Structure 1
Amino acid sequence: KYKNVSILLAKQHALVIEEGLKDLKSKNIQCNYVVIDQFSSSKSRVVNELGEYGRECDLIQRHRGEEDIAVASASIIARGIFIQEWERMCSKYKLNFPKGASDVISTGREFVSMYGQEKLRDVAKVGFKTTQKIFSLY
C-alpha cells in the first residue's frame, strides 16, 4: 500500500499519538509534548500526519529515542506485539517466515507456490526488487 516504509511509520506513529492524546484529553489530562524515535530525515513526515490532538503539543523526534523511558517502554511493547503477530502468521500459513532479510526469496517462493502471488501482499512488503525475484519462477 505504501511505497516507502517511512510513510507507513509516520502514519502509524501519528495514529497512535492521536489516539493517546484523545484519550488523555477525555480524562482532562494535559500533554505538553510527545517524544518519538526519529526514523526519517524528514521531521515533518510525522507532523504532517497529525490531526487536531497532535497539533496541540510539541512533537520531539530524536535519534536514540529509546533513551527516554516512555519510548523504550513503547519499543518493548511493540516488539512483543510483533513477535505475537509473526507467530500467528507462521501458524496461519504453516510456514516459518524469516524475521530478517535472510532466506526471504526461497520462503517467498514457497509461500507463492502454496497460496498464490496475490496473497503475498498479506504477509510481505511487495514494492521491492526482491518481489520480482520471488515471482521470476512463475
Structure 2
Amino acid sequence: MPAVSSRSAAFRILRPSLDTTHTTIPIMKRFLLLVPAALLAACGSAPSSDSAASGSAPMIYVSSARPAHAIANCLDSRLSGTEQSQHNGVTDITVGSRSYFVTLTPSGSGSVVKVVRGSGSEPAEEAMRFAIARCVI
C-alpha cells in the first residue's frame, strides 16, 4: 500500500495541478481592466463618409457613472482651449478652435457623453480620445 501512495504522490508532483483559481484571478482582473478600453474603442468607430462630412454623427457616445461637472472639470484640466456652457442641465464643451463638441447630459446613474468632431484639428484625435477615456472612468 505505501508504494501506491508514494507513486501517486510522485505522479502529482510530475503532473501539473488542474486547480485554475490562481491563474483565473489575474486573468479576470486583466479582462476587467480592458473592458472600458474596448467599450471606448467600440464607441469610437470610424463614421461613414457621409456622416463625417456633415459632422453630426458622434465619434464617441458613452455612458459614465461620473457626474457631468466632474467630467467637465477633468476635460478642462487635460485639454487646452475648452469653453463650457450650460443650459437645462446639459453641459456643452467646445474644445480647441471648434475642433470637438462635447455634450454631457445627466442621467439617472451619472452622465451620457457625446463627442462630435468639428472643423478644426487641435487637439489630435488620439489625445481627445485619451482625455475622454481618462475622464469618464
Instruction: Give the TM-score normalised by the residue count of structure 1.
Output: 0.24
Bigger proportion of residues as strand:
2
Considering Cα pairs closer than 8 Å and 6+ residues apart, tell me whether 1 or 2 has the greater RCO. Answer: 2
The TM-score with structure 2 as length reference comes to 0.25
